[in-house]
A and B are shown apart, each in its own frame.
Chain A
Amino acid sequence: LPSPASVRPVRRPGCCNSGSPVSLAAQDARSPSSQKRRTDDSTSTGDLQPMPTSPPADAQSPGAADALFSSPPQFRHSAIPLDFDISSPLTYGTPSSRVEGTPRSGARGTPVRQRPDLGSVRKARQVDLHSDGLAEDIVATEQSLGQKLVIWGTDVNVASCKEKFQRFLQRFIDPLDKEDEDIGLDLNEPRYMQRLQEINMVGEPFLNVNCDHLRSFDENLYRQLICYPQEVIPTFDMAANEIFFDRYPDSILEHQIQVRPYNALKTRNMRNLNPEDIDQLITISGMVIRSSQLIPEMQEAFFRCQVCAFTTRVEIDRGRIAEPSVCKNCNTTHSMALIHNRSMFSDKQMIKLQESPEDMPAGQTPHTVALFAHNDLVDKVQPGDRVNVTGIYRAVPIRVNPRVSSVKSVYRTHIDVIHYRKTDSKRLHGVDEETEQKRFTEERVELLKELSKKADIYERLALALAPSIYEHEDIKKGILLQLFGGSRKDFTHTGRGNFRAEINILLCGDPGTSKSQLLQYVYNLVPRGQYTSGKGSSAVGLTAYVMKDPETRQLVLQTGALVLSDNGICCIDEFDKMNESTRSVLHEVMEQQTLSIAKAGIICQLNARTSILAAANPIESQWNPKKTTIENIQLPHTLLSRFDLIFLMLDPRDEAYDRRLARHLVSLYYQSEEKMEEEYMDMAVLRDYIAYARSYVNPRLGEEAGQALIEAYVDMRKIGSGRGMVSAYPRQLESLIRLAEAHAKVRFSDKVETIDVEEAKRLHREALKQSATDPKTGIVDISILTTGMSATARKRKEELAQALRKLIQSKGKAPSLKYQQLLDDLRAQSDIAVTKEMFEEALRALADEDFLTVTGKTVRLL
């Protein structure tokens, strides 16, 4: 019986009914069988027999096991005869140049491993950790029947470890913990058993295990996993496979199930990695900045004697292949030659991960770390992806020179990837609030909740916002609500699609009223802020453009500010200076929250769920209080109506205000920084508060609040109807709802209540009062924003036209009239001052009615 061949059968269809799953699993644990062997995958002709069971511990560290157990080392790979696949059509070859390259490659510390993501078990530790007591090293004793055996150098007992893990798989239930991947899972059933069932159905032999679950289930097992992943994960593999093949003996899998733990809590931030983490299981988050091509890495070298054609296999050991110098068969020296086609390779990829911008302390450059992905994980991530990586942290000494024994005193570090969790990928499902999920410590959450209970939290937060900007409280409140945003609602099934939850704000006003400063502050405050200036940005800069990637020569879509600030705030300064075409792209973004692109054969719709905070200067550089908002900033009203709040930032002329302002400014100029800090809430607290509210608080409208909103809306309509015009549109109602929701979020309340509506109403009215006041009558008039003209102005226009018509009619039958003459007559007759523009407007109105035509300086009647 060629027992060593037993390594592979597990992957073969139909081999699992051999009745010894235990041993199969055991084999897998230490052998590379769990990865695809290119050489033998397709040629599964082997009618394989059950192999002898072996003590599980054997699997862990054969080197150590040899010493511990009497079982012969029959599973050494070097002895596996793989002759049957010589004829395989699927052999893998590399250029012969590698013949020289390979043996030397070890010098650069890129070890080849049996199970690449876990590393060769046989490999002794490269770096000793203080944490391993010396005593433990010796503990490996041969006590009664392997029950008390531990793996050399650890405190892991394989049998009990396996048993515990099996128990975990079979029993772990956590109905409260909902993850977005859990679609279709019954949370009241053992979660991982359902996962195994899924594996059986889908055929993807990977079992992802959340370490957090493991920790809550068995603290000690979790600790062992973190500290000795290299030994424990194979044990988990074993356990999982045992259960799986017990349940689904007929299941056909590509290879054995691999357990992939993720979400190890040990390390979050790349910056915190330190020598203690070496060889431990860690999870870090970051951004992929570069990925290499696929590297075929030799796992096992195949040598053949040139003289007698005797063949032998040599496994990679610490990145080196010990080339046999003597043929065992004929004793010729240096006759062994490497046969590439029959050596075994695995896929490998080098990836550079950079720490995410949020984790970086100010004033320092980001750290990077190298990752090695193996087999399936190759090409799973692309540069630019945000990922959480779980893997084993490694440090390998760099040899200065293979010929000299001295070693560079520096280690080369990398992470062997076991699991990727893309933070971006979830976006596709639209549950992306979690992407931002900052991990709040419990104390922090406690602090935030404490804060939220304060009665004046709303005022407090508003005050903490941009403290250097004096007063403008309502504007700050508006911006605060914008930062929190409304609740996202989905009405797709009723055909209206998503309702916008983001609040858009426009600030307009005199130059030098610190609008830009506010924008800068907001941009600095939010994690996904973008800051552009209307002057400098083009439509493509805001949306997206297609360019040729210099490396791949493929067309790629480069996203602009609006897309980049998805789920954030896009601050646009000098909004008025933006040209027409650029502005027009905003229409879609500001209501539908998407961006459609049709360029260079790329047609797509991107999410742009961004709030817009814009600042505009009046057209005459100074705000003209005699004109309406539209006239002052010359923006199309279609765009203006998309802003929930429009604030005027004017320079108030008031002595008391001046006095307070002066005091405020003077204090700026000598107060020390610490003193400033004390007075206001810390920016970091504010940021956390907002982030927490955004991700965890999702208020819904209460019954009362609903009524209040209805009343508010009806009231708004009523004001207008009294004067025969409409002063509110459904858009305003939506704005009110959003504002009320945002205000509820500020309170960390899950329900929108009347006070929220009250505040929303107040703020909305305040903003209207500032921006939609008809300068001629002083009445708030929403139609200034929606139609670009106040109702009174429209009425006046009409009146004038009628007066003109009367005047002309009174003149009798004259077919044509002099322009100037008519104007003078009208002026003489009218009791208000008639400007030339008004006159022309009236003429145009009459022309529209087909009453007259204007040609040059004469007016003809029709």
Chain B
Amino acid sequence: MPCVGDWLNSPLSIVQGIFAQNAPNSDWEKKVTEYFKEKLKENNATNWVPSLNDVPVHYLKPNSLVKFRCMVQDMFDPEFYMGVYETVDPNTNARVLHFGKYRDVAECGPQQEIDLNSPQTVTSERQTFYCVPVPGESAWVKEISFLTEPVQARVSPSTSYTPSRHKRSYEEDEDMDLHPSKQKEQHMGKSCLQILCFSGSGGDIHGCVEPKRLETEASAGHHVISPNCSPPLDLNFPLPGEKGPACLVKIYESWESFKVNDVLEVFGVLSVDPVLSIVNSEERDSSSLDPMECMDTMEEQRVHSPPASLVPRIHVILAQKLQHINPLLPACLNEEESKTCEFVSNFMSELSPVRAELLGFLTHALLGDSLAAEYLILHLISTVYGRRDVLPLGKFTVNLSGCPRSSTFTEHLYRLIQQLVPASYHLRMSIESMNHSRFIPHKDYTANRLVSGLLQLASNTSLVIDETQLEQGQLDTAGVHNVTALGNLITWQKVDYDFNYHRMEFPCNINVLITSEGRSLLPSDCQVHLQPQIIPPNMEEYMSSLLTAVLPSVLNKFRIYLSLLRLLDYSISDEVTKAVEEDFVEMRKNNPESVTADDLHKMLLVARFLSLSAGQTTLSRERWLRAKQLEALRKARLQQQQCVNGNEL
């Protein structure tokens, strides 16, 4: 397929072609997007595009088409660039028109000069997003999304990169490549290593680039870490220990529709032009000589134009917001497309056995407590589906109290959840972690960027907070702020980002599950007290055997189940509304203390998710009764617990 290679390997030449055809009028831009949209629509064409999430940057051919699934971490200022420019040959006075879209550097031949004052020049605007891979993305998401791709589709320009790897994870991959310089790893961090290996193996990648330049680049990399300079570039991942490429994504169209923390999939031209890094080192050199003269601070330059080998640029041709990142589901769940409809209806038909199996699985995981398992399912499919002025609707934070403290139960429970949801994070609450980690993203004005924090998470990320490890101690100011932020997150589903002079509210949609011994110090929508039926002598063994006992195909069904149900619509008929009304009035009549508006809120929530978990999109009388029953059971347990502990609650 020569054609495939063309638009995959050198999309810019395609753009050039379209540009040359339609040059003076601005139609060409639209035609380019249309062309690529067409191309990507072809059967599984998206799978042919190598993904930056999967393939390390240095294996990808510069200026080829790549895709990247990422979360918008920060938005930089819009840039003005030369959309169209003209070059002049000083000798012959020949003028040539070029396009500057999808490029970082305005190209011109060795004998040519750019005419900055040409009347043909068109200045356009584009927006740069700083994107990171989806924080807390589960390993299975990566595995599945890149296994489904046909192997030969991987573009492998480098000889050192053999496409034969099937299940090698990203990390392993790196270890392999970095052998020669492993000893440096400790103090350099991964980012610098990439430079090294770029310069080492990159010679053949860039046929066009002289090796000399690569050296300068490598030295620029060294420059970054040399002691008299500032520490290595922080790639600004929200969660600690994250890996994966960060990327400067340049968006050309309708960037207003994207927001911070949106998950995007972008298709675009990869730009790792070493010139970009040279700019950097040059400027750094001179700026150290004369800092007054430079417009931005050094930090700002480092952040806004990091070496391209570390933070590649993607010039986006097509971008779309993702509803979810589960690779087992069709990316876009539109009603119109027959394929997705079929998929959904197929799955719905076998919903109840899946639910039963999942319930069984979770019951085992929760040491035989089926009520807690039921609530856990409801929690896992909950999502904020709307906001009524400040009140988020559909959040369902569960506080799983009564977790055994001594064992590693919570740890293992998290591992199981991790296997089920596409993105998650395990927050071990301790005095130290609360005092020392940064939860709220804040704006760093010297570097002019949003420094990420733990709570900068994409929608529908599962946040499991483990309170069992909390010891006595004193929270300092930062700790109090962090706890407040967590509380705000749970109650209002928003995080107040700190902009130093003011705070900005960012709505979020994060499923919070709190495991604790007693009642959590954080607010929650409902507290379920765990009643273990069995106490396995070896928790580790018990849990891992549980996971191995599940067939991969079944596990996948669980994953689909949880992601799909979250996206369903829901309604309540008038009759049921009446019935609920009656019920509420009746309950209040008997004992006004027992049922408050809050309780009704809760019951309606439970009813909603209960219906959805069974695949029903309207509330039925039975479900409502079942919801009431569940709530009653839960409350009875709490009461019981209260009696046992006396002063508890």
Contacts and interface: CB of A to CB of B under 8 A. Distances in A.
Interface of A: 97-98, 100-101, 104-105, 107-110, 124-130, 134, 273-275, 278, 287, 289-290, 292-293, 295-296, 350, 352, 357, 360-370, 383-384, 395, 397-398, 400-401, 405-414, 466-468, 470, 512-514, 516-517, 520-521, 524, 533, 536, 651, 653, 655, 658-659, 661-663, 665-670, 672-673, 676, 683
A104 B589 CA distance: 85
B114 interface: yes
B205 interface: no
B506 A411 contact: no
Given A97-B289, A127-B116, A410-B81, 19 more contacts: A101-B290, A110-B293, A126-B117, A128-B118, A128-B121, A129-B123, A275-B124, A352-B448, A366-B499, A397-B82, A405-B112, A409-B82, A410-B79, A512-B598, A524-B389, A666-B604, A668-B388, A669-B608, A672-B386
Contacts of A274: 125
Contacts of B500: 289
B504 A470 contact: no
Interface in B363-395: 386-391, 393
Given A108-B294, A401-B278, A669-B605, A470 B597 contact: yes
A775 B114 CA distance: 86
A468 B278 CA distance: 56
B282 to A, nearest CB: 7
B259 interface: yes
Candidate in B104, B118, B279, B605 with the most chain A CB atoms within 10 angstroms: B279
A468 B581 contact: no
Interface string B68-95: 0000001101111110010000000000
A408 B105 contact: yes
In order of increasing CB-CB distance, the 9 nearest A-B pairs are A363-B259, A468-B388, A275-B123, A662-B584, A409-B100, A409-B106, A411-B80, A662-B581, A101-B290
Given A410-B79, A653-B588, A521 B445 contact: no
A515 B112 CA distance: 70
Given A101-B290, A128-B118, A409-B104, A368 B507 contact: no
B293 A405 contact: no
A405 B501 contact: no
B339 to A, nearest CB: 26
Contacts of B601: 665
B295 A370 contact: yes
Candidate in A108, A125, A296 with the most chain B CB atoms within 10 angstroms: A108
Contacts of B480: 536
Contacts of B125: 274-275
Contact of A405 (B108, B448, B572): B108
Nearest to A366: B499
Interface of B: 74-75, 77-82, 85, 100, 103-108, 112-114, 116-125, 256, 259-261, 275, 278-279, 282-283, 286, 289-290, 292-296, 386-391, 393, 443, 445-446, 448, 450, 480, 484, 491-492, 499-502, 504-507, 570-572, 577, 580-581, 583-585, 588-589, 592, 596-598, 600-601, 604-605, 608, 619
15 contacts: A98-B290, A108-B283, A124-B117, A128-B117, A128-B120, A287-B501, A364-B256, A384-B501, A405-B112, A405-B113, A406-B108, A661-B584, A668-B393, A669-B608, A670-B571
A132 to B, nearest CB: 8
A514 B492 CA distance: 13
A406 B600 contact: no
Given A98-B290, A655-B588, A406 B577 contact: no
Contact of A369 (B74, B77, B393, B504): B77
Given A409-B82, A468-B388, A669-B604, A127 B121 contact: yes
Contacts of B112: 405
Contacts of A275: 80, 123-125
Nearest to A295: B292
Nearest to B128: A410
Contacts of B290: 97-98, 101, 105
Given A655-B589, A670-B571, A673-B386, A110 B105 contact: no
A395 B598 contact: no
A352 B449 CA distance: 13
Contact of B292 (A273, A293, A398, A408): A293
Nearest to B597: A661
Contacts of B279: 398, 400-401, 408
Contacts of A110: 293-295
A755 B188 CA distance: 74
A101 B286 contact: yes
A101 B294 contact: no
Contacts of B261: 363
Nearest to A680: B389
A140 B393 CA distance: 66
Given A401-B279, A655-B585, A668-B393, A411 B450 contact: no
Contacts of B571: 670
A386 B293 CA distance: 26
B260 A365 contact: yes
Nearest to B391: A468
Contacts of B296: 370
B585 A410 contact: no
Nearest to B279: A400
Contact of B389 (A105, A124, A521, A665): A521
A512 B523 CA distance: 13
B253 to A, nearest CB: 14
Contacts of A369: 77
Nearest to B388: A468
Contacts of B103: 409
B108 A468 contact: no
Given A275-B80, A384-B501, A409-B105, A365 B393 contact: no
Contacts of A105: 286, 290, 293
B85 A409 contact: yes
A536 B79 CA distance: 42
Given A97-B290, A289-B445, A666 B572 contact: yes
Contacts of B445: 289-290, 352, 383
Contacts of A672: 386
Contacts of A411: 79-82, 123
A128 B260 contact: no
Nearest to B603: A665
B491 to A, nearest CB: 8
Contacts of A363: 259-261, 506-507
Contacts of A669: 393, 572, 604-605, 608
Nearest to B571: A670
A520 B388 CA distance: 12
A406 B585 CA distance: 77
Contact of A401 (B124, B282, B295, B446): B282
A318 to B, nearest CB: 10
B162 to A, nearest CB: 35
Contacts of B393: 668-669
Contact of B104 (A124, A410, A661): A410
Given A289-B501, A401-B278, A408-B104, A670 B81 contact: no
Nearest to B103: A409
Contacts of A383: 445
A666 B581 contact: yes
A397 B116 contact: yes
Given A406-B105, A408-B279, A669-B608, A128 B77 contact: no
A407 B114 contact: yes
B119 to A, nearest CB: 5
A296 B292 CA distance: 9
A426 B295 CA distance: 31
A357 B499 contact: yes
B289 A101 contact: yes
Candidate in B506, B581, B604 with the most chain A CB atoms within 10 angstroms: B581
A105 B291 CA distance: 11
Given A101-B286, A290-B446, A663 B577 contact: yes
B123 A278 contact: yes
